[in-house]
Amino acid sequence: MAISIIFLPLLSFIFCFLIGNKFTYRVYQILTTAILILCAIFSWIIFVQFLGTKDTEIIFILNWITSGNFIVDWSIRLDTLTAIMFIVVTTVSACVHLYSIGYMSEDPSKVRFMGYLSLFTFFMLALVSSNNLLQMFFGWEGVGLASYLLIGFWHHKDSANKAAIKAFVVNRVGDFGYAIGIAGIFFIFGTISFDNIFEQVDLFKDHQIQFLSLSFPTLDLLCFLLFIGAMGKSAQLGLHTWLPDAMEGPTPVSALIHAATMVTAGVFLVARMSPLYEYATFTNLFITFVGAATAIFAASIALTQNDIKRVIAYSTCSQLGYMFFAAGVGAYNASIFHLTTHAFFKALLFLSAGSVIHAMHHEQDMRKMGALFKKIPFTATMMWIGSLAIIGFPYLSGYYSKESILENAYYNSNSIAYFAYVVGILTALLTAFYSWRLLFLTFHGDSRSEIKIYEHAHESPYVMTIPLLILAIGSIFSGVFFADYFIGYYKKEFWDGAIILSKGSHKYLPLTQSLISKSAVAIGILVCVLIYANNLNRAKNLSYNLDPLYSLSKNKWYVDELYHKVFVLTFFRLANFFWKKGDEKTIDGFGPNGISWLVAKSSNYISMFQSGYLFHYAFAMLGGLVIILTWFLYY
Amino acid sequence: MVDWPLLSVIIFLPLIGGLIILFIKEDEISSNNIKWSALLTSVGTFILSLILWLQFDYLNPSYQYIEKFRWFNDFNFYYHIGVDGISLFMILLSTFLTPICILASWNNVKKRVKEYMLAFLFLETVMIGMFASIDILLFYIFFEAVLIPMYLIIGIWGGSRRIYASFKFFLYTLLGSVLMLIAIIVMYRNTSSMSIEFLQGNYFAFNTQIFLWLAFFASFAVKIPMWPFHTWLPDAHVQAPTAGSVILAGVLLKMGGYGFIRFSVGMLPEATELFIPLIMTLSIIAVIYTSLVALAQTDIKKLIAYSSVAHMGIVTIGIFLVNQQGLEGAMMQMISHGLVSAALFLCVGVIYDRMHTREIEFYGGLVQRMPLYATVFMIFMLGSVGLPGTSGFVGEFLVIVGAFKFSSYVVVGAAFGIILSAVYMLYLYKRIIFGTITNDKLADILDINFREKIILIPLAISVIILGIFPNIFLDPMRLSLEVVISNYEVANAK
């Protein structure tokens, strides 16, 4: 069953790819969607088995690379963590497949789109089910490829192509760390399959390693290198710039890849390697810090964006920050829990946003929306549910997972964890603000769109609303249903050693702290209501009065501009310098061209001896005679 | 095993085919016969070489299919050929690419078709002969003979600046050739043997080794090419006809890598150990420097040529790590590069045949008119970038794994190449393929035709097969490489 979950999407991709023009596009749409729904059903069956007492299972498929003692297999590791990722990936993917039938109905290349979605799903499943780091890397780069293809899906748009390259290259920067990390792990442990690594962790607790002439604690260094990969894929501070630009892709892609699944691969990696991370003290502090910083940084940008998808994109970035600092403080289960609930409500938000965009004829600017609740009440309701879930409204899914993350940060003793806790609460405030701002601007107030577009706004067809409904159910109930298993009473039996669980028992926040965190959310909502509820002039004035801060947030803290100046321009300058000055001037100048110049020049001089004048020759002979005679006289 | 001289047949079949072609009269009608005879000859050779692979004994580390005849009575010079795990895939690469080259030249070579085909078939003979030689003088003869058809291909059927390109090529190789011949003579005078097999177990005095090593280095470093001896390559590629570039990138560059494994590492272990830091430094510079230079190119072929230098940098790193992962990685990288860069040059050839320019700026938006072309180009681009699941990844990654034992600087340098290769290839792809068609001349460009499909699709499939089942290539070469490594370690342990 596990094998069919992974390979069925690949088969449907191959089917679309090789014989994509034999039948009408409906055949492909229905087939790929049906296959994904089947996969989702299988995944849930497996997941339910793991809710019971199923043991970890490793399915060997084929030997991949054997080189000396470097042995890598294609195989499937089926444990609780994989089962969770399976349901997340296949459920969201099935919804997105179904949704795309409606969303892409006017696009000329529907088959290609469905094929790419299935390809992505295959790579993502290969990633989460891997039993070693290299197969994971295969999935890891594979999802990067699928993401590249789908961001640049509308390849006639220059901005889409640029965003696609940016995504791939920034991810490659992360992969640079990941690849070195794998090589390092092989060097230290002599293996890259998970169980064999974890068995030996104890031996290397106090081990030191030389890297670039510096000495590091081995586990810290290895975890750090892997984490660079995770930062790239999960768009953490510094390597986050590609994620907002990735919104150039069609909206279902944003929902599937850039919200629910691919971007969480970094979190998954850290959780998967948790037995290693457990001992990486310094790296954990770093992860906590980066996570917390990303959470608040991205939230601060989301406050002022006007593109509906960009707001949600930055919100994704910020929520990923939450997951990372949870992992950093050792609460891997809370982190994965948030990953799961987030997948549902963020996919819901994106698909609802897509439904809005669909209704508004591809308008994404919230300044040109407003009052859409009356026109598309179902979509608006869905968006409300998603937003309430993300801000942690009690008893919706986000409430449980976010609360659990804050609890873990609070009860951790180090100061960076405390910093993360404070930042987490502040971010919750900002989250509440920008989520409500989005709702107000889009669905309430007065309509600011052209009358014609507004009049034409219509609710989406069933193929698009049914996925919303499914995801909404997930957003509401996944928290209350899973909490006991992921973080609560049954957690030990449920996880069954798939990740490291924090030692202490589950504690709730003290009442004061709990009140603070809830009131932070309330304040966020309140401020938002005050500013945006009935007219927008207040917001305009405020942005004018707080100009430096506002511009900073609006322009994404100028990170893109900085990177462009520091990296892009430097590299191109260096490239031209090496080419013109290095290759052409220096190497060729002194090499072949220099030698030929020298030969030509000296033959010119030598040929002057052959002047044809007799007295020249006579003089030369005389000179020669003098030299020879002198020679003989001396020796 | 086979009881007839299979290897000799494989070596000389192309030449015999070429000689038969010589007797076909060349005019409008019969020029097709010339092409077909050349194609059939090379396909036949390829099929025979597959037998070589199928019958190959994986468990035998030394030479197989050995044929040995004394050539000169006065000294120990033999016609001595055989195949081991190292040369097997080099031979297969040559026999696989030659028919592809002939097909690729089907319509775009108009003048002197007979001589052109003869040049390619002769080239095939000497390439295979070189990889199969066990006698070093025989090796030398073939090694130098490769240059003759290559000069002619660039010089006669090349672009407008072909004379400059071949002159540059000549200057670079001249010095190496002379020194290599001297080195071979010195080796013979020391041991009175010319057998590669014998010399690999027989060590020279340390000082002699240093001289010999430098002499071979001069020859192979130019061939492969290493920085700073690489500047002939971009010019040669740009001026060569498509098929010439394919053979140049696909096989000729591998002569350098093959030589390094056989001669430098295999016969001169102590000198190799001494010079490893030099090689590593030059290789890391090659990876980073040429990747950056590739980024700035405006000519598609030049860009791919520079990327070749960067990929060969990974190969030299792998070879001189002298451990299992490094050497196997280097071999995989060579095979993969042989397929991928050959395919990329063929892709350039496809649009060059249609538009007669290789300027990147001229193109853009080709996907709108040529979706199939865009797809195969994408596969090769990914292979070049080293995406897991394509052939490019296995070699690169094995080298990185092997390098960790040696030095973290080398690891970081090689891995940095991962980022840069993505940058220049994706940037190239975007400029040529994506976007909308803005150039009116491209408005009617046609997608790849049946002949081009036959050329490109097998290559695309092999790139993926190599990435997913690399073991079918790694298994046969394993034991032969182990012998090289253990020889090296024994010599340096003394």
- Per DSSP, the residues of B117-133 read HHHHHHHHHHHHHHHHB
Task: Tally Cβ neighbours within 10 Å of residue B417.
Answer: 26
Q: What pLDDT is stored for residue A267 in this prediction? A: 95
Amino acid at position A496, single letter: D
For A279, the token pair is 């001992």
Instruction: Give the gap in angstroms from C-alpha B45 to the nearest C-alpha of chain A.
Output: 30
Q: In this structure, are residues A346 and A259 in contact, taking their beta carbons and an 8 Å threshold?
A: yes
Q: In this structure, are residues B274 and B210 in contact, taking their beta carbons and an 8 Å threshold?
A: yes
The minimal CB distance from A155 to the residues B167, B324, B434 is found for B434
pTM score over 0.90:
yes
Q: In this structure, are residues B186 and B157 in contact, taking their beta carbons and an 8 Å threshold?
A: no
Q: What is the mean pLDDT of chain B?
A: 90
Instruction: Give the gap in angstroms from C-alpha A336 to the nearest C-alpha of chain B.
Output: 26
CA separation for the pair A402, A408 (Å, rounded): 10
Q: What pLDDT is stored for residue A37 in this prediction? A: 95
Backbone angles phi, psi at B60, to 5 degrees: -105, 110
Q: What pLDDT is stored for residue B303 in this prediction? A: 94
Q: What pLDDT is stored for residue A6 in this prediction? A: 93
Instruction: Give the gap in angstroms from C-alpha B276 to the nearest C-alpha of chain A.
Output: 18
For B355, the token pair is 């538009």
Instruction: Give the gap in angstroms from C-alpha A19 to the nearest C-alpha of chain B.
Output: 12
Amino acid at position B24, single letter: I
Contact B415 A152 (CB under 8 A): no
User: Residues of A with CB below 8 A from B389's CB?
Assistant: 138, 141-142
Residue B208: half-sphere exposure toward Cβ, Cα within 13 Å: 16
A16, A21, A67, A149: best to mutate for the B interface, most B CBs within 10 A: A67
Res. A415 pLDDT band, cuts 50 70 90: confident
DSSP-derived secondary structure for A467-484: HHHHHHHHHHHHHHHHHH
Contact A152 B468 (CB under 8 A): no
CA separation for the pair A27, A21 (Å, rounded): 10
Q: What pLDDT is stored for residue A487 in this prediction? A: 86
Radius of gyration (C-alpha) of chain B in whole angstroms: 22
The minimal CB distance from B324 to the residues A62, A68, A583 is found for A68
Res. B1 pLDDT band, cuts 50 70 90: low
CA separation for the pair B331, B327 (Å, rounded): 6
Report the pLDDT averaged over residues B408-428: 91
The answer to whether residue B76 scores a pLDDT higher than 90 is no
User: Residues of B with CB below 8 A from A156's CB?
Assistant: 365, 368, 434-436
Instruction: Give the gap in angstroms from C-alpha B482 to the nearest C-alpha of chain A.
Output: 9
Backbone angles phi, psi at B112, to 5 degrees: 50, 50
Q: What is the pLDDT of residues B280-320, one digit of tens each?
A: 999 999 999 999 999 999 999 999 999 999 999 999 999 99
CA separation for the pair A301, A554 (Å, rounded): 6
Q: What is the pLDDT of residues A373-412, one digit of tens each?
A: 888 999 999 999 999 999 988 889 999 999 899 988 888 8
- Chain A contact present for B427, CB below 8 A: yes
Q: In this structure, are residues A424 and A292 in contact, taking their beta carbons and an 8 Å threshold?
A: yes
Q: In this structure, are residues A121 and A16 in contact, taking their beta carbons and an 8 Å threshold?
A: no
Report the pLDDT averaged over residues A488-501: 85
Residues 6+ apart with CB under 8 A from A234: A263, A264, A265, A266, A267, A320, A323, A324
CA separation for the pair A105, A108 (Å, rounded): 8
Q: In this structure, are residues B78 and B135 in contact, taking their beta carbons and an 8 Å threshold?
A: yes
> How, if at all, do strands A70-78 and A214-217 pair?
unpaired
A-proximal residues of B, 327-386, CB under 8 Å: 328-329, 365, 367-368, 382
CA separation for the pair A374, A381 (Å, rounded): 11
Report the pLDDT averaged over residues A300-317: 92
Q: What pLDDT is stored for residue B117 in this prediction? A: 92
Residues 6+ apart with CB under 8 A from B298: B359, B360, B361
Q: How far does CA B419 lie from the centroid of its chain?
A: 24
B56 phi-psi bin (left φ>0, alpha ψ -120 to 50, beta other): beta
Q: What is the pLDDT of residues A70-94, one digit of tens each?
A: 999 999 999 999 999 999 999 999 9
- Which of A284-288, A519-523, A536-540, B39-43 is least confident? A536-540
Report the pLDDT averaged over residues B249-272: 93
The answer to whether residue A188 scores a pLDDT higher than 70 is yes
Q: What pLDDT is stored for residue A428 in this prediction? A: 93
Q: What is the pLDDT of residues A351-367, one digit of tens each?
A: 999 999 988 888 888 88
Residues 6+ apart with CB under 8 A from B313: B226, B227, B283, B284, B285, B286, B287, B290, B414, B417
A-proximal residues of B, 138-197, CB under 8 Å: 167-168, 171-172
User: Residues of B with CB below 8 A from A70's CB?
Assistant: 324-325, 398, 401
CA separation for the pair A27, A20 (Å, rounded): 10
Query: How many residues does the structure list for chain A?
Result: 635
Q: What pLDDT is stored for residue A394 in this prediction? A: 87
Res. B491 pLDDT band, cuts 50 70 90: confident
Chain A / chain B CB contacts < 8 angstroms = 150
Q: What pLDDT is stored for residue B152 in this prediction? A: 87
For A432, the token pair is 């509440």
Alpha-carbon dihedral B141, B143, B148, B150, rounded to 10 degrees: 170
Residues 6+ apart with CB under 8 A from A369: A308, A356, A360, A363, A441, A442, A443, A447, A448, A449
Q: What is the mean pLDDT of chain A?
A: 90
For A350, the token pair is 């994106």
Q: In this structure, are residues B34 and B113 in contact, taking their beta carbons and an 8 Å threshold?
A: yes
The answer to whether residue A3 scores a pLDDT higher than 70 is yes
Contact A571 B423 (CB under 8 A): yes
- Kindly report whether the peptide bond that precedes residue B99 is cis, defined as omega within 30 degrees of 0: no
A-proximal residues of B, 292-321, CB under 8 Å: 292-297
CA separation for the pair A345, B21 (Å, rounded): 71
CA separation for the pair A581, A259 (Å, rounded): 45
Q: What pLDDT is stored for residue A505 in this prediction? A: 62
For chain B, percent of residues with pLDDT exceeding 90: 63
User: Residues of A with CB below 8 A from B400's CB?
Assistant: 179-180, 183
User: Residues of B with CB below 8 A from A182's CB?
Assistant: 397, 401
For A615, the token pair is 């007295």
Report the pLDDT averaged over residues A128-157: 93
User: Residues of A with CB below 8 A from B426's CB?
Assistant: 148, 165, 168-169
* Three-state secondary structure call for residue A380: helix
The minimal CB distance from B415 to the residues A162, A176, A212 is found for A176
Contact B401 A186 (CB under 8 A): yes
Q: What is the pLDDT of residues A569-615, one digit of tens each?
A: 888 898 888 888 888 888 888 877 888 888 888 888 888 777 788 88
Q: How far does CA A458 lie from the centroid of its chain?
A: 33
Q: What pLDDT is stored for residue B2 in this prediction? A: 65
Nearest residue on chain A to B379, judged by CA atoms? A145
CA separation for the pair B99, B466 (Å, rounded): 20
CA separation for the pair A205, A209 (Å, rounded): 12
The partner residues of B81 in beta bridges, in order of sequence, read B67, B133
Q: What pLDDT is stored for residue B456 in this prediction? A: 94
The minimal CB distance from B400 to the residues A62, A179, A595 is found for A179
> How, if at all, do strands A214-217 and B77-83 pair?
unpaired
Burial A593-605 (b: 16+ CB within 10 A, else e): beeeeeeeeeeee
Report the pLDDT averaged over residues B48-65: 90
Residue that the structure tokens 């090296």 belong to: B488
Query: How many residues does the structure list for chain B?
Result: 494
Alpha-carbon dihedral A278, A279, A282, A284, rounded to 10 degrees: -10
Q: What pLDDT is stored for residue B162 in this prediction? A: 82
The answer to whether residue B98 scores a pLDDT higher than 80 is yes
CA separation for the pair A54, A496 (Å, rounded): 9
Amino acid at position B322, single letter: V
Q: How far does CA A26 lie from the centroid of its chain?
A: 31
Using the Cα atoms of residue B82, residue B87, residue B88 and residue B94 in order, give the sign of their dihedral.
negative
Using the Cα atoms of residue A518, residue A524, residue A530 and residue A532 in order, give the sign of their dihedral.
negative
Contact B401 A183 (CB under 8 A): yes
Q: What pLDDT is stored for residue A504 in this prediction? A: 64
CA separation for the pair A154, A352 (Å, rounded): 21
* Three-state secondary structure call for residue A265: helix
Task: Tally Cβ neighbours within 10 Å of residue A446.
Answer: 9
A582 phi-psi bin (left φ>0, alpha ψ -120 to 50, beta other): alpha
Nearest residue on chain B to A570, judged by CA atoms? B292
